[in-house]
A and B are shown apart, each in its own frame.
Chain A
Amino acid sequence: MSSINEKFTPIRKGLLEFLVLKVVSADKVYVADILRELGGTEFATQEGTLYPLLSKMRREELVDYEWKESEAGPPRKYYQLTAKGREQLREISEYWQQISATVKSLGQKPGQ
């Protein structure tokens, strides 16, 4: 199992941006929310990875953030999708459907 896990490391890494887009699309979230949401899955990640990724996505104008006061502690950055981010998410979702359909159909005998 661990070797499969290892083989898929680059794929998981590449998919992370897509998944972050998905998580952010649902609601205004801050980093701890994203970490929690991904935490239980195969895509569990850490702040050290997430902050640089979010800053890159913001540079590409896929997400934006606003400062919000929190009940305890200092204000936090809450992220949300931009119009461009939403468009990108739609495109990637479509592409993902295609990929997963391809993966499913390959290697099957015709007529089955």
Chain B
Amino acid sequence: MNKVIIINLNGNAYQLEENGYEALRAYLDSAARRLEGNPDREEIIADIEQAIADKFRALMGASKTVVATKEVEGVIAEMGPVEDASDTPAAGQKGAAEPPRPAPGPGEAPGPAKRLYRINDGAMLAGVCNGIAAYANIDVTIVRIAFAALTLAYGAGALLYIIMAILIPSAVTSAERAAASGAPSTAQEFIRRARAGYYEGMRTFGDRRAFREWKRNFRHEMRGWRRDLKREMHENAHQWACNWNRHWGGRPYPFLGWWVAVPMLRLLSALVALVCLFSLVSLLATGAVFGILLPASIPVWAGLIILVIVFQMIALPLRVMRHAMYYGGGYDPVRAGWLHFWNAVAGLGFLAVLVWFASRHSGQMHDAVRNLPHEIHRAVDSVREWWARQ
């Protein structure tokens, strides 16, 4: 089953499969770009849309109402790339300002710069790991393991993941998909060319004049690539900033003012941490949390880990909001001072409650702490047992 998208081609309605729609959109987008500066751009695009519509109509029949992806691709191939015939140096204007690039192969436009996107195809969650893997050209499993490992460290990985899922745009169009995984990134290309140029230089080392010539060219080329790299970084950063503003800026902490929200959040997370600690202790001391007995099939150490994970998940949104206040909308000394003040208050309060609790239930605490090494031993033993059974 495929999703179908209805399009309007110069006044003709057609139903396309989703991937076919993406391909067609990419084709028309690239046509519009190639014709930039052409006074008849609108008209040519309308002509081309009409021609595509005619081809689609020939494919349709009484029992066939949807244009399949393969058919869309066939029609696009039949149409051929749109080339601007006019002599206006629309394409040349841009090229003149840029450093001389190595000539792309015949008929092949320089590919779009590689960008970091989320890739939803084959993603487990939001496609962040997938996108990073494609961008850095490494296996997605490695990225996932890295995130999982980071998550064990106080949920940092999960926090990072959520922030990245918000900031990084998802690759939707096929052009974006190509940019996410296709062309080598400028950074990689930069390194590759630097290395290639280096070997080239080594070869000319004997000949003084050739060497000087090479050096001049090499430096020139490297400068061009560096500029490209900088531009790409800048574009990425700009994109991220836009996303950030869309999600966090524009509506600065709509619930309460930050001066109320900060202490609330801080105290709330301290409370969550306390509850977590108490339930851990109670699990160790009595084998039950809030009166709920741990099922016999689950060892205590596994219960401890589950508890920690559950509380991490509860605390996570609080932490995300707090971090948004740290970093949202630039640095503000007043706000930073306020945040630190409440961090200190919450820390002291946490300590005070802990001391009070310990003095009141000193016996229980003592037992719990004494039980801890025992539990760790049991955890290690059971893991070893499990390993031996494999």
**A42 to nearest B CB, angstroms?**
16
Interface residue count on the B side (C-beta < 8 Å): 25
A-B contacts at CB below 8 angstroms, number: 61
Q: 1/0 contact trace for B13-51 toward A, CB 8 Å?
A: 000000000000000000100010011100110011011
Which residues from chain A contact B35 at a C-beta distance below 8 Å?
52
Complex CA distance for A53 and B84, rounded to whole angstroms: 7
Complex alpha-carbon distance, A9 and B50, angstroms: 28
Decide if B102 is an interface residue (CB 8 Å cutoff): no
Interface size class, chain A: 10 to 19
Q: Is the CB of A48 within 8 A of B31?
A: yes
**Would A51 and B47 count as touching, CB distance under 8 A?**
yes
User: Do B48 and A55 touch across chains, with their CB atoms under 8 A apart?
Assistant: no
Closest to B57 in A: A73
Interface string of A41-57 (1 = CB under 8 A from B): 00001111101110110
Interface SS majority for chain A? helix
Interface residue? A104 (CB, 8 A): no
- Chain B, 46-83, contact with A by CB distance < 8 Å: what is the 0/1 string? 01101100100100000000000000000000111111
**B84–A52 CB distance below 8 A:** yes
Q: How far is the CB of B45 from chain A (nearest CB, A)?
A: 9
- A51 CA to B84 CA, complexed, in Å: 9
Report yes or no: B54 in contact with A73, Cβ–Cβ below 8 A: yes
Q: Is A59 an interface residue (CB 8 A)?
A: yes
A31 at the interface (CB under 8 A from B): yes
User: For window 27-83 of chain A, which residues contact chain B by CB distance below 8 Å?
Assistant: 31, 45-49, 51-53, 55-56, 58-59, 73-74, 77
Question: What are 9 A-B residue pairs whose CB atoms fall within 8 Å in the complex?
Answer: A31-B51, A46-B80, A47-B78, A47-B79, A48-B31, A49-B85, A51-B44, A51-B47, A74-B12
Given contact pairs A17-B85, A51-B82, A55-B40, a sample of 4 additional A-B residue pairs in the complex whose CB atoms are under 8 Å apart: A47-B47, A47-B51, A52-B86, A74-B11
